Amino acid sequence: MKAKRLLCLLLAALMLAGSCLLFAGCGREEKYAGALVIGSSTLPKNLNPYSSTSSTFFVDLFYDTLLGAAATPVGYTADPENFRFPDGSTFTPVDTSNNPLAFTDNLLSYEGALPRPDGSDYGYVYFDPTEEQWEEQCERESIREGFDEVGLPIEETHEEFLARAEETVPRENWMEFRFAVRPGYTWNDGTPFTAEDIKFTFDYIIRHKAELSSQAYFLTDYYQSSVEEDGDFVFILASNNYSAMKSICNSIVILPQHIWQTVRKPQEEKNLNPVGTGPYYLKAEDYIADSSITVTIRDDYNEALLREDFAGEPVANISVQLMSNLDVLIQSLQQGDIHMIMDTIDTTKAYQVMNNSAYSNIDMSSTRNDFVTTLLFNVGPYGAFREGELNGYSQQIREAISLCIDQQSLISEVLFGMGTTVGDGLVQSYMAHALVDENGNYVEHHTDVAAANALLDTTTYLKDADGYRGLTFTVLASPEQETLVRAIGNQLAAIGIRLEYEMATSTYAEDIKQYNHADFDMILNSVTFGADKLLMFSARYGTYNTGSPRVFNYSGVIDEELNELMLQMERTANTQQQYELSREVQARIAELAVEIPLFSQNMITFYSDSVFSGWIETEGSSIWNGYTLRYLKVN
């Protein structure tokens, strides 16, 4: 009996082993051998460049923006001395003494895209509310009684706006831009690319502004466009906002007229056969839903990518494959089955992988993210730190807090910190004045608890027997930032200030309510720093140059000087000038708000250099960006 049983077991084991070996040989030919394989935990379900559920990664592969490949700037009129195009070029201004208002007959009165009277600060492209709608909006966003969301008294704003919307006042500020279309340029289905396509795109966006609100936002000041006889494309911006120009040139993807003129609902368009001017195109059989998307390079790839200097073998196919699990992705990368992971990696995992010698063939790119987590003070009309509150010592208390926070220890306590040294993707906090010094270096931060205590001792808030100064502040932050708040609180205990954590809600509407009620004293939020960007979300500091009604002013600072500076920043296209202005803006904000930048989360991506090279790191993005796309080649 026992022998029979053993025999059975042996047989079963043999069968199992045999079937395993059989499976080993069951693998199929790899269809995309030699392709650049990118693993991703999500795959876009549609390739519509204007859909929110699409992927910028693929948009870059298939489409170009106005300045990407399609057109070169030819001329402009407005402010010749200071204006520079995004690529730094300047051109001889073309005489355009004709007043745009001569085109009044052709005035395309899109609802909201109105010519803006001088000084008008309301660029509502698509919001032209009736009284009921306005009231409903105020109600929904629980505007505090008497003030609207930008901090102005309600009645005044409302009427003024409605009145302004109906007037047509001759403007003084406008800009006209002229672009020449590259000759012989084609869409990837062979149709020639013309200025008609550009005009079609702009008009299409405006026509569907309700659905394509983020693109329409860039065209807030868009007045009209036309195709000249010589094939040039000309459009007019009804403002002197140069930064809008930048966005238009770099963000608006040009759509082919012959394909998209029949698309009635851009948000519902799947666009699985993307016809674009980009360097790659998609064959129908290479789109396998929820499995892989593989693109093929165009024959005229060099022209498509504008790279006359390219030497080497281009990447013929790029295959993005779905792998839902991060551990599997990392292992796959290590094994060489894939060459890059499209997902961003969190610092903990990155730390583990980088310190593990088994994964030494994985390269890591860690670029500084645009957004810096910053501790901001509520200096608004209802915040604890507003002028005159805290016995008039608001400024001192803010400065003291700023002196007391030790970023280094915060980082090691709270984050594992991919950047362990200053400058490694981290922004130092600063005391009061400039973000960067003359050399463009970040100003060192010196923690000085003694000085902070000394400063506070000059106020009426003195330490009692427990060391507490009777100052307690609430910090509004998201749930994952609770640890950070507690860590900051620990540090502030050294100067006798107590910090309490209040959880920010997760829905947008609730956020508005919370921010506008201003029941908090400090907030942890992400802001963008950078000389080449408009600092922060300008509306937060109460400027009027907002393009969207979806703004909230949780600090409620209304400062003329600040507004002026920020407007100036918008109106210059000169990068150097913007940079200088930004320092002044920061200084002014610091005076008003004293915010303390804490850290920026780096964007960490994994890739491998073994088969393909040309990966280029840029700030604020993963290793996959426009530059990498341009220089990627086979080893």
Partner 1 sequence: MKRYYAQKLISAVFVLFIIITLNFFLPRMMFDDPAQPYYAGVPEDAYALRQEIREANGFNDPLIVQYGAYLGRLFTLNFGTSYIYKEPVFQVMFSRIPWSLVITLTSMVVSVIVGILIGAYVGKRREMTADKVLLGFSTVTTAIPSFWLALVSIMLLAFIIPIFPYRGAMTPGYTLGFHTIPFLVVFLLFIAAAIALRIILRKSIFLFTVIPAGLLVALLVAVPPADVLDVLYHAALPLIVVIFGSCISYSLLVRNSMIAVTSEDYILTARAKGLPPRVVLYKHTFRNALLPLITNVGMSLSGLIGGSVLIEKIFSWPGMGQLLLEATNNGDYLLSQAILLLFAILTITFNLITDLVYHKFDPRVTRA
Residues in touch with partner 1 (CB under 8 A): 20-21, 23-24, 26-32, 42, 45-46, 48, 51-53, 126-127, 129, 133, 137, 209-211, 213, 267-270, 285-286, 288-292, 294, 319, 321-325, 327-328, 331-332, 335, 548-550
Half-sphere exposure of 525 (CA within 13 A, CB side): 19
Residue pointed to by tokens 């409903």 = 136
Q: Which pairing describes strands 522-528 and 471-477: parallel, antiparallel, or unpaired?
A: parallel
Alpha carbons 384 and 470: distance in angstroms, whole number: 14
DSSP 111: T
Considering the complex, state which of residue 22 and residue 465 has its C-beta at the smaller distance from partner 1.
22
Considering the complex, state which of residue 25 and residue 440 has its C-beta at the smaller distance from partner 1.
25
Considering the complex, state which of residue 20 and residue 311 has its C-beta at the smaller distance from partner 1.
20
Considering the complex, state which of residue 546 and residue 625 has its C-beta at the smaller distance from partner 1.
546
* Minimum CB distance to partner 1, residue 365 (Å): 24
Helices 482-492 + 407-414 axis angle, to 10: 140
Considering the complex, state which of residue 215 and residue 247 has its C-beta at the smaller distance from partner 1.
215
Number of neighbours of residue 354 by Cβ within 10 angstroms: 18
* Minimum CB distance to partner 1, residue 308 (Å): 33
Considering the complex, state which of residue 105 and residue 139 has its C-beta at the smaller distance from partner 1.
139
Q: Which helix (H) or strand (E) holds 391?
A: none
Tokens coding 332: 């796959």
Considering the complex, state which of residue 212 and residue 592 has its C-beta at the smaller distance from partner 1.
212
Considering the complex, state which of residue 72 and residue 213 has its C-beta at the smaller distance from partner 1.
213
* Minimum CB distance to partner 1, residue 26 (Å): 4
Return the percent helix, strand and coil in the chain, to nearest 5.
35, 20, 45
Alpha carbons 414 and 399: distance in angstroms, whole number: 23
The answer to whether 477 and 484 are in contact (CB under 8 A) is yes
The answer to whether 539 and 546 are in contact (CB under 8 A) is yes
- Cβ contacts of 84 within 8 Å, gap of 6 or more: 90, 573, 574, 575
* Minimum CB distance to partner 1, residue 124 (Å): 8
* Minimum CB distance to partner 1, residue 148 (Å): 15
Alpha carbons 301 and 240: distance in angstroms, whole number: 37
DSSP tally for the chain: helices H, then strands E? 19, 19
* Minimum CB distance to partner 1, residue 522 (Å): 28
* Minimum CB distance to partner 1, residue 210 (Å): 4
Considering the complex, state which of residue 272 and residue 364 has its C-beta at the smaller distance from partner 1.
272
* Minimum CB distance to partner 1, residue 267 (Å): 4
* Minimum CB distance to partner 1, residue 400 (Å): 40
Phi-psi label, residue 444: left if phi above 0, alpha if psi -120 to 50, beta otherwise: beta
Considering the complex, state which of residue 28 and residue 439 has its C-beta at the smaller distance from partner 1.
28
Considering the complex, state which of residue 331 and residue 505 has its C-beta at the smaller distance from partner 1.
331
Buried b (16+ CB within 10 A) or exposed e, 88-112: eeeeeeeebeeebeeeeeeeeebeb
Helices 449-457 + 394-404 axis angle, to 10: 160
Considering the complex, state which of residue 119 and residue 508 has its C-beta at the smaller distance from partner 1.
508
Considering the complex, state which of residue 97 and residue 506 has its C-beta at the smaller distance from partner 1.
506
* Minimum CB distance to partner 1, residue 435 (Å): 33
* Minimum CB distance to partner 1, residue 47 (Å): 10
DSSP 145: T
Number of neighbours of residue 348 by Cβ within 10 angstroms: 11
User: Could you give the 3-state DSSP secondary structure of residue 394?
Assistant: helix
The answer to whether 543 and 562 are in contact (CB under 8 A) is yes
The answer to whether 553 and 540 are in contact (CB under 8 A) is yes
Tokens coding 461: 């808030």
Instruction: Name the β-bridge partners of 211.
Output: none
Give the type of residue at 455. L
Alpha carbons 116 and 548: distance in angstroms, whole number: 15
Considering the complex, state which of residue 120 and residue 294 has its C-beta at the smaller distance from partner 1.
294
Give the type of residue at 53. T
* Minimum CB distance to partner 1, residue 401 (Å): 36
Alpha carbons 231 and 233: distance in angstroms, whole number: 7
In degrees and rounded to multiples of 5, residue 180 shows phi and psi of -100, 135
Considering the complex, state which of residue 157 and residue 408 has its C-beta at the smaller distance from partner 1.
157
* Minimum CB distance to partner 1, residue 363 (Å): 20
* Minimum CB distance to partner 1, residue 115 (Å): 21
In degrees and rounded to multiples of 5, residue 440 shows phi and psi of 80, 10
* Minimum CB distance to partner 1, residue 21 (Å): 8
**Which of 67, 411, 76 minimizes the C-alpha distance to 248?**
67
Alpha carbons 253 and 274: distance in angstroms, whole number: 12
DSSP 147: B
